[in-house]
């Protein structure tokens, strides 16, 4: 099968997503992750658009990349301006990248009504810009903006824009479904026509997800002859996003046999997806195919029983191929074999009908009746199993804590303080901390008391905090369930607490989060998930 060049635009098109604002350090970190994944091209921004991108390109010049070529992105020369006098074109050259992507209008409507120029001038803008950059020794990717809408409206002119780029020396032609409204059959037919029309040109595809077809459209373009696929990690992008490379890459490589990234790099796909979400300060999509935490999660008892016998019964690929893992969810609809799989992660010797297993099943039912729900808090479930099996030694013991909330708040950064006393062995530690709310203050106080004895706690960062009221008919006296998601930069885990006191429920979840981390560090080879 043909080799497919993967072209990532997370740092350019992805940065146009609502809520995304990368720092220069963020962009450097993402480049390093993408390079390790084996991405061929990294479109890193427009050096003429802002000082941040200028700083990035200056720093990126010193990066030692094993796989990736960094691309600067910009528009064709402006209407009526010689290309050598265009400031944005000069900024592209100053970026110092070996490759440059140039976008130009391929839809006659855009040229006439948006640029307010003639079709002839639009073609000249494309040809002049590509030719100028080629004279400066650059690899040039021509992004044919609005190509599919333009082709459907005026195919002759759309093809002329590609011809202008090819004749000027463009190394590849990227066909853009800029508005994201095309269907897979349209993408296939038009891409095939382009490949036949320009048999010696490398053709790429750039799809947006406004009709939720971006991944399917990208796949169909490859099947029609495209050899370059543009997209972003996690589908980040303007409006509804771009084509999601975390789905495209395994679909092309694992399902269709194309060579996209090094085979041994595929196992980094899930960690790359989660790292980019973390750096972008966006929640990771649990339901994402291949890389989501739900992608290989099984809950129904019959499903789990079948997966235990043979995973292909309910899994389309082995999760380990993409660096993900199988999860058997703990819930009231899960059978005893499900629980056994989780229990065996702690003690492989226990059988389904052993007294210990029956005891854990009974304890699970008791806790779920109280309001605990472990399918989203498997780390807390592992701690329950350890306690039931006598394989748990507390790292510390709470003696007491006192919470003081000051309202009205006179300190913008902290309206709460906590005094906490914990016991570690025969040593008691008393400390005080302030925070933005009682839970934040409690978290800070616990860390302050324990980090000296357990430095690994300093690696923990809370990434999500959720509260659910369980019996709303009791109004402010209702029982609540608190879920806390934590990370140490390598692993994510979720813990749970239940109480009629939201601070106490939060404390339970925080303690489990810290103790789970400490146990994992003691037993780095024990599986967290099955």
CATH number of the domain residue 175 falls in: 3.20.20.70
- For residues 217 and 489, give the distance between their C-alpha atoms in angstroms, rounded to a whole number: 34
Over residues 315-351, the pLDDT tens digits come to 999 999 999 988 776 554 455 566 676 777 778 887 7
- Burial of residue 62, with CB atoms counted within 10 A of its CB: 0-12 exposed, 13-18 middle, 19 or more buried: exposed
- Give whichever of 80-84, 283-287, 406-410 has the largest mean pLDDT: 80-84
- For residues 42 and 250, give the distance between their C-alpha atoms in angstroms, rounded to a whole number: 18
Measure the N-to-C terminal CA separation of the chain; round to a whole number of Å: 34
Number of domains in the chain: 3
The yes-or-no verdict on residue 474 having pLDDT over 70 is no
CA 445 to chain centre: 31
Is residue 384 located within the same domain as residue 412? Answer: no
Whether 114 maps to a domain, the answer reads yes
| Residue finishing a domain among 333, 353, 388 | 388
Whether 323 maps to a domain, the answer reads yes
The yes-or-no verdict on residue 382 having pLDDT over 90 is no
Is residue 413 located within the same domain as residue 383? Answer: no
C-alpha Rg value of the chain to the nearest Å: 28
3-state helix, strand, coil in the chain (%, to 5): 45, 20, 35
- For residues 391 and 451, give the distance between their C-alpha atoms in angstroms, rounded to a whole number: 23
Query: pLDDT grade, residue 465 (50/70/90)?
Result: confident
What is the DSSP annotation of 488-508? -SS-EEEEEEEESSHHHHHHH
- Spatial contact of 134 and 163, defined as CB atoms under 8 Å apart: no
Q: What is the pLDDT of residue 347?
A: 81
Is residue 457 located within the same domain as residue 364? Answer: no
The yes-or-no verdict on residue 26 having pLDDT over 70 is yes
Q: What is the mean pLDDT of residues 13-31?
A: 93
Is residue 405 located within the same domain as residue 379? Answer: no
Whether 291 maps to a domain, the answer reads no
The CA distances from residue 315 to 258, 282, 298, in Å, are 21, 27, 10
Whether 288 maps to a domain, the answer reads no
Is residue 97 located within the same domain as residue 232? Answer: yes
- For residues 142 and 129, give the distance between their C-alpha atoms in angstroms, rounded to a whole number: 10
Is residue 242 located within the same domain as residue 319? Answer: no
Whether 260 maps to a domain, the answer reads yes
Over residues 128-149, the pLDDT tens digits come to 999 999 999 999 999 999 999 9
Is residue 303 located within the same domain as residue 216? Answer: no
CATH number of the domain residue 514 falls in: 3.30.160.270
Helices (H) and strands (E) in the chain, counts: 17, 16
Whether 284 maps to a domain, the answer reads no
Counting residues of the chain whose pLDDT is more than 90, the rounded percentage is: 65
Q: What is the mean pLDDT of residues 406-424?
A: 82
| Residue finishing a domain among 388, 422, 439 | 388
pLDDT: is 519 or 183 the higher one? 183
Whether 529 maps to a domain, the answer reads no
Is residue 272 located within the same domain as residue 345? Answer: no
Q: What is the mean pLDDT of residues 468-494?
A: 80
SS3 letters across 76-104? CCCCCCCHHHCHHHHHHHHCCCCEEEEEE
Is residue 34 located within the same domain as residue 147? Answer: yes
Whether 456 maps to a domain, the answer reads yes
Is residue 9 located within the same domain as residue 116? Answer: yes
Copy the structure tokens of residue 106: 């391929």
380: containing domain: 297-388
| Residue finishing a domain among 388, 413, 440 | 388
Q: What is the mean pLDDT of residues 286-312?
A: 84
Is residue 405 located within the same domain as residue 480? Answer: yes
Is residue 78 located within the same domain as residue 212? Answer: yes
pLDDT: is 467 or 83 the higher one? 83
């Amino acid at each position: 099968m043909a080799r497919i060049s993967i072209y990532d635009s997370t740092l350019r098109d992805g940065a146009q997503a609502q809520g995304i604002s990368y720092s220069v350090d963020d962009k450097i970190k993402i480049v390093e992750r993408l390079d390790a994944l084996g991405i061929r091209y990294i479109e890193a921004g427009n050096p003429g658009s802002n000082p941040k991108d200028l700083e990035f390109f200056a720093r990126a010049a010193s990066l030692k990349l094993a796989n990736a070529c960094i691309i600067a992105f910009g528009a064709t020369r402006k209407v009526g301006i010689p290309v050598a006098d265009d400031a944005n074109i000069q900024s592209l050259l100053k970026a110092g990248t070996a490759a440059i992507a140039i976008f130009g209008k391929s839809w006659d409507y855009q040229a006439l009504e948006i640029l307010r120029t003639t079709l002839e001038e639009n073609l000249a803008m494309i040809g002049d810009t590509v030719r100028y950059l080629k004279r400066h020794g650059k690899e040039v990717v021509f992004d044919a903006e609005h190509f599919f809408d333009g082709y459907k409206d005026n195919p002759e002119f759309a093809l002329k824009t590609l011809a202008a780029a090819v004749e000027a020396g463009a190394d590849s032609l990227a066909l853009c479904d800029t508005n994201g409204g095309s269907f897979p059959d349209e993408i296939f037919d038009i891409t095939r026509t382009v490949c036949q029309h320009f048999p010696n040109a490398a053709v790429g595809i750039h799809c947006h997800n406004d009709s939720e077809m971006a991944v399917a459209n990208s796949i169909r373009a490859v099947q029609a002859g495209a050899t370059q696929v543009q997209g972003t990690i996690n589908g980040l992008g303007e409006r509804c996003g771009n084509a999601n490379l975390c789905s495209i890459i395994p679909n092309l490589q694992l399902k269709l046999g194309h060579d996209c990234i090094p085979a041994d790099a595929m196992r980094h796909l899930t960690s790359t997806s989660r790292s980019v979400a973390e750096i972008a300060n966006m929640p990771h999509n649990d339901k994402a195919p291949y890389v989501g935490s739900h992608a290989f999660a099984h809950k129904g008892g019959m499903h789990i029983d079948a997966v235990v016998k043979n995973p292909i019964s309910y899994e389309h690929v082995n999760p380990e191929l993409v660096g993900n893992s199988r999860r058997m969810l703990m819930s009231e609809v899960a059978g005893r074999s499900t629980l056994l799989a989780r229990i065996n992660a702690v003690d492989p010797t226990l059988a389904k009908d052993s007294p210990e297993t029956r005891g854990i099943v009974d304890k699970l039912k008791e806790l779920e009746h109280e309001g605990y729900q472990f399918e989203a808090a498997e780390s807390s479930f592992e701690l329950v199993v350890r306690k039931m099996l006598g394989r748990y030694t507390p790292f510390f013991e709470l003696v007491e804590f006192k919470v003081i909330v000051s309202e009205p708040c006179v300190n913008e950064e902290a309206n709460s303080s906590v005094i906490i006393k914990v016991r570690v062995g025969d040593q008691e530690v008393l400390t005080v901390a302030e925070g933005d709310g009682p839970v934040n203050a409690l978290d800070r106080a616990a860390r302050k008391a324990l980090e000296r004895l357990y430095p690994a706690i300093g690696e923990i960062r809370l990434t999500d905090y959720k509260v659910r009221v369980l019996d709303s008919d009791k109004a402010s006296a209702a029982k609540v369930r608190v879920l806390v998601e934590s990370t140490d930069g390598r692993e994510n885990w979720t813990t749970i607490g239940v109480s009629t006191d939201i601070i106490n429920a939060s404390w339970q979840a925080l303690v489990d989060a810290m103790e789970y981390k400490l146990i994992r560090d003691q037993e780095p080879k024990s599986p967290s998930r099955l």
